[in-house]
A and B are shown apart, each in its own frame.
Chain A
């Protein structure tokens, strides 16, 4: 296959699969979905390999050149995010069917709708990562938001539906702001292509207003404090495989778009003061999210609040605009994607096996679910940024940037965030390890099937290994650093 075709198929194939899965008989959906996952993931990894070997790939759909045509573009950043999505999707394809079968078996048909919606979501994510112009990105954003809302609603209970509704309203509001900004830009210059826009943008009021609107819209979608309020309920009440997708992947997509818009288009008209604001909000998110996570009594809420905190790290790049921080930020997105997906799947397993997700009732649970709690611990290591995980490598890079720039409050925030993360993750493990052996439990009895336990373990292990192989993603990034970074 021609590398340029790969880009097209990466968007097209999941859409086709989604459509096919909607009409396929329910009995076939799992196998079909798993097969489709295998295909899409191979395409994504193949593309990442191509970009690593030959550099960025660009394709104009139907040979219409910009400014009229639609352009798909894969650089190092896209390749990494596509690969992340594929790496999360593969274990998920093994875990999700087993989870939906066990979860209130046959009571709802949630499992049947999971596959088409998830494929839809995947298509939207791929489109976002590959979009070469702002309008396509809008389409991706909107589709991703709608699919995400529908996925949350699969939870079925009242809480899930309420969270989904709230999520829907905010997602719509966010994309509306974004679209408004895009319209302003289009009205002023008549182009939406990222590269062309970057070249011809003028520092006038219209551009500033557009940047403000677009940024606000994307901040809502990425749930940066103070726009985070919709996230904990939505991520915590969704079915576990959905939570993994939302926390691990979906919030990263709008963030990546924001990165591109700031550093590839708008850098001439001043990141300065506004970048500082975003950085400061990032710090605030780290602190507030962690403190809230510490106060939670339910595992999934704790994990969801941890996402609010961890997303804060991503925004430090706006204040520390250097290449090291860029690499650190992307690496953090990757390692958080893997670790958080692992943690949500593991949390889902705990709920399945124990029938509750109250943290203080976890007494001795590690004895019953050793593998699952081992997964929690491994994922926790990455979230806390302890070596040798991907989170550690990311923090190392961000710290280097902050120290190099002499930004000591950021140094304190980066390290302090690790300690705060320890503050909410260790109690979870402590409760689970506490207590003495329960003689009623038979040795070796498996409360969960292998299909449930191994996929999250694999994800957590990948997050850990990322720290030992950080050079690979960094070499993908190194070619395509935005010129605006110092």
Chain B
């Protein structure tokens, strides 16, 4: 049973997705049942897996595909960090999406792809070798595209086309890099400390090329400057999709891939010797600053959040590329923290748009009086992003900063400080408007979604849950069950195998 568990985790949501496709629009109850049932089941399976891995059990499922190339699922602690995050947030987002898409067309198609997309993410997390990673990475592209263009408007189609162009090209680079490495050294099984065998005899030149192909491939999804162009246009997707893309699936898969390739394929020592980490750290720093600068100029809330994502996800890359255990802890824990905070912010943006028709920062005046709980969640998320103690974002930045000192690269602290200032500059005005400005006479497009609450509970409760989670992970970061503790566990494996 144990070895089938990883496969089962993927199949649960994949089969649910396929079953949902066959449902008719009106089969509302069944669809919700399938959605939530699969999400809960998946979360419990992941729980079993988590407990097992914590106790040091090893799970591994393999299926030979071609000679010297197999599909391998082998969840290690790093996999579980991403997997748990995605399984948990999938459940929350599903509930939110059910409320959000109430009465809109093509729901079966939407939820079908939604489930498939989470399966692909689980596959990326648990991939035990580079081929498996590639397979699920491409599947993620395929399953998210219909979600991006879900609204079917001209703008959505355009955004989808750009999204595809970027991600397919990224996939192609990753494909070449993967085949190249397989051709030279045989199966590339993810191994703490590096997957290349002793005395592989590859020249630095070849290794640099391969590293470039692999990292550029995942860098597209990680929205690393200059490969980030797809992300702001993909914002046309419905809010739950944006939430999922930015917090769990696509961007995270990219950042996760960077960590995997640096630490478990090349090995951090080799990556440093090749100069790969330096280039990556510089790019990450540029991305952090560039994303924040662009976010400043956006009035559209979702676009502002999108540029903020570009910036925040690169913290993960920066943490990985600084080459030091503490910085890596900061980067990894940010994978979870950014996910929780960003999904909170997107849920809030969705609530505002659905309930009041508010899409712009300039329309936020007095929103705190009309929707206090939503704006409270927004404030928590935003302050966390800025890095205010004791919120989750502070923990990430603290570890990144200490990590920079430990690695003897103090200048990254400058980047962190500057970025925090910029974060404050684009989040604080929104918070100020919401709480301290008087509300307008009429909202742009107010709808009454609930008689007793500020908006439908299906929208409100998931929002409050994720906001609470981001608060708690920060407050109780020192507890042995926190994401921080788990990140430390991973780093011990990577640096002291």
Contacts and interface: CB of A to CB of B under 8 A. Distances in A.
A474 B164 CA distance: 32
B179 A399 contact: yes
Contacts of B448: none
Interface in A388-412: 388, 392-393, 395-397, 399-400, 403-404, 411
Interface string A408-443: 000100011011001000100010011111000001
Interface in B228-287: none
Contacts of B64: 471
A387 interface: yes
A364 B66 CA distance: 39
B441 interface: no
A392 B69 CA distance: 13
B57 to A, nearest CB: 27
B134 A400 contact: no
A225 to B, nearest CB: 23
A419 B175 contact: no
B164 A426 contact: yes
A433 B146 contact: yes
Contact of A374 (B21, B69, B175): B21
A55 interface: no
A367 interface: yes
A187 interface: no
B19 interface: no
A67 interface: no
Contacts of B138: 386-387
Nearest to A386: B138
B461 interface: no
Contact of A396 (B69, B109, B161, B168): B69
Contacts of A289: none
Contact of B26 (A366, A381, A426, A443): A443
A388 B139 CA distance: 8
Contact of B172 (A415, A433, A444): A415
B444 to A, nearest CB: 21
B391 interface: no
A400 B142 contact: no
Nearest to A331: B66
Contacts of A444: 24
A34 to B, nearest CB: 27
| Residue of A399, A415, A430, A471 with most chain B CB atoms under a 10 A cut-off | A430
A364 B63 contact: no
B9 to A, nearest CB: 17
Contacts of B175: 395, 399, 415
Contact of B176 (A364, A399, A404): A399
Contacts of B176: 399, 403, 411, 415
A392 B174 CA distance: 13
B1 interface: no
A436 B161 contact: no
A370 B21 contact: yes
Nearest to A400: B183
Contacts of B63: 468
B219 to A, nearest CB: 17
Nearest to A421: B168
Contacts of B139: 386-388
B168 A403 contact: no
Given A387-B134, A403-B183, A443-B25, A430 B142 contact: no
Contact of B168 (A370, A400, A422): A422
Given A443-B24, A443-B25, A444-B24, A435 B152 contact: yes
A367 B106 contact: yes
A142 to B, nearest CB: 37
B67 interface: yes
Contact of A470 (B65, B142, B183): B65
A413 to B, nearest CB: 12
A239 interface: no
A467 interface: yes
Which among B25, B105, B109, B176 has the highest number of chain A CB atoms within 10 Å?
B176
Given A386-B142, A387-B138, A467-B65, A430 B160 contact: yes
Interface string A299-328: 000000000000000000000000000000
Nearest to A401: B183
A238 to B, nearest CB: 30
A423 B142 CA distance: 14
B175 to A, nearest CB: 6
Contacts of A415: 172, 175-176
Contact of B65 (A374, A393, A400, A422): A393
Contact of B66 (A418, A433, A434, A471): A471
Contacts of A411: 176
B172 A474 contact: no
B67 A471 contact: yes
A415 B176 CA distance: 8
B152 A434 contact: yes
B304 to A, nearest CB: 27
A419 B168 contact: yes
B105 A418 contact: no
Given A386-B142, A387-B135, A418-B172, A433 B152 contact: yes
A461 to B, nearest CB: 11
A392 B25 CA distance: 34
A434 B152 CA distance: 4
Interface string B91-132: 000000000000001100100000000000000000000000
Which of A387, A400, A435 has most B Cβ within 10 Å? A387
A437 B180 CA distance: 45
Contacts of A403: 176, 179-180, 183
Contacts of B149: 430, 433-434
A470 B63 CA distance: 11
B169 interface: yes
A23 B21 CA distance: 45
Given A364-B152, A403-B183, A397 B157 contact: no
Contacts of B179: 396, 399-400, 403
A360 to B, nearest CB: 13
B182 interface: yes
A388 B142 CA distance: 12
B155 to A, nearest CB: 11
Interface of A: 364, 366-367, 370, 374, 381, 386-388, 392-393, 395-397, 399-400, 403-404, 411, 415-416, 418-419, 422, 426, 430, 433-437, 443-444, 467-468, 470-471, 474
Interface of B: 21, 24-26, 63-67, 69, 71, 105-106, 109, 134-135, 138-139, 142, 145-146, 149, 152, 157, 160-161, 164, 168-169, 171-172, 175-176, 179-180, 182-183
25 contacts: A367-B105, A370-B21, A381-B142, A386-B138, A386-B171, A393-B65, A393-B66, A396-B69, A397-B66, A403-B179, A403-B180, A416-B172, A426-B164, A430-B149, A430-B161, A434-B149, A434-B152, A435-B152, A436-B152, A437-B106, A468-B63, A468-B71, A470-B65, A471-B66, A474-B67
Question: Across chains A and B, which 7 residue pairs bring their CB atoms closest together, nearest first?
Answer: A437-B105, A387-B135, A399-B179, A415-B172, A403-B183, A434-B152, A400-B183
